[in-house]
Amino acid sequence: MKKVILLLAVLFGLNSAIAQVDVITKHNGETVKGKVIKLEEYTIIFKYDGEDAENTISKYAVEKIVYGKSGRVEEVTEKIVVNGEDDWEKVVILEDKAYISGLKKEGEVRGKTGLINYHTGNTGDKKAEKKLKMAAAAMGCPFILQTADKSTVGATSNGLGGSQAIKKGVAYKY
């Protein structure tokens, strides 16, 4: 009888210890087991189970968190599905390297307006951004880490065709 009680106590103790682990489910299907330390605006800081080092993952890469202590499920972000160039409006431009943690790099993308064009500075900038997003969408990538954003201004900068907008970035997916 003592052995049965001891066995049940050990099993209950192990079950309680395992239940304390938080489970982070990523959009690509991977799970991370550990302890969530802090949720920031765009990132999640956590420790892997059995480790002390703090790690950071982008909220964009995370679908949900299941807290081991309470069992509460927190939905973090919805998955952005980009099926091709027509979905370019779904592409999100990120401006900080911390926001890509946990995402997979696919390749460089570029968007620019022609040197001689019919755009003012502001509309040229929007056109270059659209081309940048279309390039990422063609690769099936819902995210871009923008690495360069420059405008060149010619002698007729106040008129049409006097400026060129160039945007560069790196495309990422889940």
39-84 per-position pLDDT tens digit: 999 999 999 999 999 999 999 999 999 999 999 999 999 999 999 9
The pLDDT assigned to 20 comes to 85
The pLDDT assigned to 165 comes to 84
Rama region for 84: left / alpha / beta (φ>0; ψ in -120 to 50; rest):
left
pLDDT tens digits, 86-114: 999 999 999 899 899 999 999 999 998 76
CA of 83: how far to CAs of 39, 87, 115, 133, 136, in Å? 30, 6, 31, 13, 11
pLDDT tens digits, 110-162: 998 765 555 455 667 788 899 999 999 999 999 999 998 887 765 554 455 55
Could you tell me where the DSSP H helices lie in 97-168? 121-138
Neighbours of 9 (CB within 10 A): 10
Cα 74 to its chain centre, rounded Å, is 17
